Amino acid sequence: MEFNELVRQRHSVRDYDPDRPVDREILNRILENGRLAPSAANRQPWKFLVISSPAMLEKVHRCYDREWFRMAPHVLIVLGNAEESWTRAYEGYNSIETDVTIAMDHLILAAANEGVGTCWIAAFKPDILEKALKLKSNERVFAITPLGYPHEDYQPKKEKIRKPLSDIIEFL
């Protein structure tokens, strides 16, 4: 899909077909785009977990209490490691959140390009995921999204509601 059209058409999906898993080849194409995301000093301080097994999905679903979340056949979890990310010497700014956010954006746009629905979730309970995934002390969950095909009759909102450019841009 042409990039500008992809950005216009991408939307958060909250109605998944649980009986239609995403093929591994398509998942790998999506993940490859996340892998290619830029990061400060090219540190790539992330890890992508694709949860697909029913047993692990059951554990992961406890982190976010929405029925539509449980309907997706996969959950993508983006981990970050602040010890691996770049830190600005001047005042100690660590790029971890910026780096994993860029990767997540690449992942959800790549999914949309494949016709796979996503919904970026930040309101999850990290302690539940840390326990379920047995994360190391230096690993932190930054973002999650269901991955799956929308139900056949799913209809996204017709128009994205965004501020006009004149409200958010200044040329100096």
Would the pLDDT of 156 be above 90? Answer: no
Q: What is the pLDDT of residue 111?
A: 98
Q: For the chain, how far is it from start to end, CA to CA, in angstroms?
A: 33
Average pLDDT over all residues of the chain: 96
Would the pLDDT of 172 be above 80? Answer: yes
Domains and CATH numbers, the chain: 3-168 (3.40.109.10)
**What is the mean predicted confidence (pLDDT) over 159-166?**
91
Q: What is the pLDDT of residue 82?
A: 97
Q: Residue 170: how many CB atoms within 10 A of its CB?
A: 5
Q: Residue 35: how many CB atoms within 10 A of its CB?
A: 14
